[in-house]
Amino acid sequence: MIRTKAELEAQERTTLAPWAQKSGDSAGRSHPEPSHPNRTEYQRDRARIIHSRAFRRLEYKTQVFLNGTGDHLRTRLTHTFEVANITRTIARSLALNEDLAETIALAHDLGHPPFGHTGEETLDALMRAHGGFDHNAQSLRIVDVVETRYPKFPGLNLSHEVREGLQKHAKFYQGTKGAAHPQPSIEAQIANLADEITYYSHDLDDGLDFELLEPMQLAELVVWKESEADVRRDFPRLKGREFRAYVIRCIIDRQVADVVQTSAALIEKSGVQSADDVRRYPRPLIAYSKPLLKANQQLRRFLYANLYYHPRVAGANTRACERLGDVFKAYLKKPSLLGGATSRRIKADGLHRTVCDYISGMTDRYLLDEHERLFPSV
């Protein structure tokens, strides 16, 4: 038995909620393509992302800790898989389109430069007079322009709904006929929130694992306290690393359960009846409950105060970013260093944007090697 695309689309119509984005209702691609016999449009988009070079490079890019610092610390790639997994759980629980939500999650960090947020700030400063740099905008630029895999069009020619989902933090989301909406699809909203759930929990985990955070420090955090109480109740003898790992597991479970419950109630109350009603609705329908929102804001402040700028994190990232600046300036001075395929874009995109695209695509280690090549240490 081989299932056809038409059968898969029909199945979505009978099994998904009325407000889910159906792949058969996709607004299509910028460059029209013949459809695939047994894959939906979002399944194809997911494959295009996974097979892209930008996706493979995520393995060697910093999430919080400089890549290579420790074998168990998250990289951009493992972060992305965790986001995709949480996204799928929420989407499936709410009868929404898992393929679309997962695809957006897999692509959400493609635009991240080397060296994490410090790298992003450095590039943004270097690009200040030339349009700046933002990793969300860059994710879209990668799938639209930078990746070259197909002979008939630039980029990956993704469907409208996946591209919409990558316009994170946009004021308005562009519709197909020029109409702008305050919200993206409900599937994109899931990927946005799943990103937060993921990094809150794994940054705590990595911080503890790498001994930059002490369990004692966490005693005042509501998010930690509630899950810690669950674990002490269910497994009173658990200690050390096993205890901490299970608390993290419970934090994720509580967050996901809260979002599923809260969002189901919000959807019901909103009265939305279609995917476009979701887009026109003034507020997101995927959300934390008020108490969890408050607890997560406290966690966020804690991570900023105690982890992201910890000398052992920030010191390594700052030194790496100085090298990023050196390489950037070296390319500006001598564009011939960029190589054939990249330098051909200078005419259309300008020298600064071309250099910025090239550097932001680099992995941590490639940039450090390139620095060594351009500025050999004695």
Residues near Mg ion, by CB under 5 A:
109, 195
Q: Which amino acid is at 272?
A: V
CA 94 to chain centre: 21
Q: Would you say 81 or 243 has its CB closer to Mg ion?
A: 81
Mapped onto helix, strand or coil, the DSSP state of residue 34 is coil
Alpha helices, H only, 217-305 = 222-234, 240-270, 275-280, 290-303
Q: Would you say 164 or 195 has its CB closer to Mg ion?
A: 195
Which of 106, 111, 137, 138 is CA-nearest to residue 42?
106
User: Residue 97: what are its φ and ψ, rounded to 5°?
Assistant: -80, 100
Rounded CA gap, 206 and 64, in Å?
Answer: 9
Q: Would you say 195 or 228 has its CB closer to Mg ion?
A: 195
Q: Which residues, in sequence order, are bridge partners of residue 181? A: 173
Q: Would you say 12 or 109 has its CB closer to Mg ion?
A: 109
Q: Which residues, in sequence order, are bridge partners of residue 173? A: 181
Q: Would you say 23 or 198 has its CB closer to Mg ion?
A: 198
Which of 194, 198, 207, 299 is CA-nearest to residue 244?
207
CB of 82 to Mg ion, least distance (A): 9
Q: Would you say 120 or 195 has its CB closer to Mg ion?
A: 195
CB of 109 to Mg ion, least distance (A): 4
User: Residue 159: what are its φ and ψ, rounded to 5°?
Assistant: -70, 160
CB of 47 to Mg ion, least distance (A): 21
CB of 196 to Mg ion, least distance (A): 8
Q: Would you say 161 or 195 has its CB closer to Mg ion?
A: 195
CB of 222 to Mg ion, least distance (A): 23
CB of 142 to Mg ion, least distance (A): 14
Residues 5-29: b if buried by 16+ CB within 10 A, e if exposed = beebbeebeeebeebbbbbeebeeb
Q: Would you say 12 or 195 has its CB closer to Mg ion?
A: 195
Q: How are the residues of the chain apportioned to helix, strand and coil, as percentages rounded to the nearest 5?
A: 65, 5, 30
Rounded CA gap, 151 and 175, in Å?
Answer: 27
Which of 150, 142, 152, 76 is CA-nearest to residue 358?
142
Q: Would you say 105 or 272 has its CB closer to Mg ion?
A: 105
What is the CB-side half-sphere exposure of residue 26 using CA atoms within 13 A?
Answer: 27
CB of 22 to Mg ion, least distance (A): 26
Phi-psi region of 73 (alpha: psi -120 to 50; beta: other; left: phi over 0): beta
Q: Would you say 197 or 267 has its CB closer to Mg ion?
A: 197
CB of 112 to Mg ion, least distance (A): 8
Rounded CA gap, 162 and 142, in Å?
Answer: 13
CB of 195 to Mg ion, least distance (A): 4
CB of 102 to Mg ion, least distance (A): 14
Structure tokens at 157: 């020619």
The CA distances from residue 364 to 60, 321, 361, in Å, are 6, 10, 10
Beta carbons of 324 and 119 less than 8 angstroms apart: yes
Rounded CA gap, 203 and 198, in Å?
Answer: 8
